[in-house]
Every structure is written in C-alpha cells, then in structure tokens.
C-alpha cells in the first residue's frame, strides 16, 4: 500500500497523470471508473489533457462500479448521465466501449470483467467504509449484485438530490471480489468525514464491517489523500 498526502488539486493531477500514462502506453487500456464527488477533479484533469495533448481514448474500455435501481438511466442523477456529462462527452471515447452493471443481469458483469480485466481501477470511499455500493457486512467474496443502500450512504448522496426522499434505496454494484481483480487500484479520499474510514483501511483489522479493508490484500494499491482525510493516520 502506497499513501500520497497532498493538496486535493495536486492529487487530482497526479492521479490523472497515471491514467494518461497508461492510455499512452496501452491505447486499449481498461479503466474502472467511479462516480460521486471524489473523482470529479481527476476527470477534469483528463479533459484538460485531452484538449491540450489529444490523448486518444478511442480504443479504451471502461467499467463503471455501479448504478442506481429505481431511476431510468437517462435520469439527471443516474450514473450513466453523470459519466456522460462529467467525462465521456468531453473525450473521444467510443460509448460502445463504456460499461455499467446491468440491472436485469448482474452476473453478466462479473463475466465481462473476467474476460477483460481492469488495468486501473479508480475508487472513492464512503464515510462508513463502503467501496462502490458494497456496504458494511458485504462478503469479501461478493461479485456484481443487487444491494440495499445503508442509511448513511443515502444521507451522503442526498446532496445530489432535491430531497433525501428522492435518493434511490437500491443499486446494482460491482462486488468486492470483482474490484480486487483490477491490476492496480487508486483510491481517492478528501475531507474530514473520510478520516475514520481511511484510518480503519490503513490501520484497522481486515473485516467485512469495513468493506474497504479488503484492499489491504491488494498488491498494487495507492491512496491519494488530502490532509483532512489523512488526519487520523499516525505521522
């Protein structure tokens, strides 16, 4: 496990550069992508680079971690829409090469990931230690599946909706076993509300009570943390 602590703007640039380097080295790279607020700065850096340097994403394949159940994929808060508006429409990526978990057939996503392993997976982390939508108590052997969202996750995500009552209560998500298949993992965490989860990930006992602790076993993991997210770590 490698830990990088810096200002958020610097971390966004560093993480984006890892993706840019990978795509330049391997035009057919497979990227695992996350939603939420944590990766937005990284995506903005990818867009800036694409405009300036014409980094080519035409042959890149992407797999997103999750999608809500209960809202259509063209809803303004769906993750399909988020990814298109935040990243995809600004790159020359072929939308046919972008993938999301299928609501009607979650198991097919795991099969796709086995056939086309992710080279670099981007993750955020929830305040309760969830990664993707794998809430506390999720089996470390889980594959892509339906999940009920924890109250803390619904509360965290309510900032994106008009009302907490509008937040979907279920989702389909890449499982923990799926995530661990990625060749490299970058986890981004910013803010004091992530400090406890990060401390548990780094210093805590591996436990399904904190799903992110499975990453302790990943052979190529880098944490990109601002000072607030890293505030509970020992110097």
Give the residue numbers marked as catalytic: 66, 128, 130, 135
Alpha carbons 90 and 88: distance in angstroms, whole number: 5
- Apex 31 CA angle, 229 and 61, nearest 5: 155
Nearest to 128 by CA among 22, 213, 231: 213
202-221 burial, b for 16+ CB within 10 Å, e for fewer?
Answer: bebeeebebbbbbbeebeeb
What are the distances in angstroms from CA 122 to CA 30, 38, 52, 136, 221?
11, 10, 23, 20, 10
**Which one-letter DSSP state was computed for residue 211?**
G
Nearest to 65 by CA among 104, 95, 109: 109
Q: Contact, 124 vs 82, CB < 8 A? A: no
Helix (H) or strand (E) holding 32: strand 30-33
Q: Which residues are paired to 63 by β-bridges?
A: 32, 99
Q: Contact, 21 vs 50, CB < 8 A? A: no
């Amino acid at each position: 496990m490698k830990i990088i602590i810096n200002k958020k703007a610097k971390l966004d640039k560093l993480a984006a550069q890892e993706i840019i380097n990978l795509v330049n080295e391997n035009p057919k790279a497979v990227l695992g992508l996350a939603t939420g607020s944590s990766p937005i700065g990284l995506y903005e850096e990818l867009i800036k680079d694409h405009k300036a340097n014409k980094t080519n994403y035409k042959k890149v394949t992407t797999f997103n971690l999750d999608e809500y159940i209960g809202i259509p994929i063209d809803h303004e808060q769906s993750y399909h829409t988020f990814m298109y508006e935040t990243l995809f429409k600004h790159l020359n990526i072929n939308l046919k090469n972008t993938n999301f978990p299928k609501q009607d057939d979650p198991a097919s996503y795991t099969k796709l990931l086995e056939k086309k392993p992710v080279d670099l997976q981007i993750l955020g982390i929830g305040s309760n230690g969830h990664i993707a939508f794998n809430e506390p108590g999720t089996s470390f052997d889980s594959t892509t599946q339906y999940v009920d969202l924890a109250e803390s996750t619904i509360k965290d995500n309510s900032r994106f909706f008009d009302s907490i009552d509008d937040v979907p209560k279920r989702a389909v998500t890449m499982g923990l076993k799926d995530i661990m298949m990625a060749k490299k993992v970058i986890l981004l965490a910013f803010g004091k509300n992530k400090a406890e989860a990060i401390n548990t990930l780094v210093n805590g006992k591996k436990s399904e009570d904190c799903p992110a602790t499975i990453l302790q076993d990943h052979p190529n993991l880098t944490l990109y943390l601002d000072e607030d997210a890293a505030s509970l770590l020992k110097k």
